[in-house]
Amino acid sequence: MTVATTGTITMKGASGKEYGYSVYISDLAGVFWKWSALGAAVATSSDFILTPPENCQIIDVSLLTTPTVSVASQLVANDIPKGLIYLVGNLLYTTQNRACPHVTVGPGTKLQFMQM
C-alpha cells in the first residue's frame, strides 16, 4: 500500500507578513508537490505556486506523514533545480526541531518541489 500525505509551507515576506500554503504530496517519485493558497491542496491542484510580490523566506515545511516511496524532495525555482534537498522525514509536524533550510525566493518566483 502506498500513502500520500498533506502539509503546509510557511513563508515570511520582507515586510514581515507570513504566507501559508497547503501542499499535497503523492507517493510517486519524479512528480511535483501540489499547492493551494485557497484551501486544502489535492491531487488535482497546481504543481507550482508563484511567491507573493515581495522577497520571501521559507521558514517552515510541515508534513502530516512520510510517503512510503518518496523520501526526499528537491527545490525547483523558475524551472531550475536548486540542488537543495529536503529529507521528508525531517519535515514531519511531530518533529519538534524540524530541519527546514531557510531559503529566500524573489517576488513572483515559480516555486516547486520535485519528489525524489
Distance of CA 95 to the CA centre of its chain: 16
Q: How confident is the model at residue 40 (pLDDT cuts 50, 70, 90)?
A: very high
How far, in Å, are 10, 13, 59, 89 from residue 18 at the CA level? 7, 6, 9, 24
Q: How confident is the model at residue 2 (pLDDT cuts 50, 70, 90)?
A: low
* pLDDT higher than 90, residue 79: yes
Of the two residues 95 and 49, the one the predictor is more confident about is: 49
d(CA 58, CA 11): 4
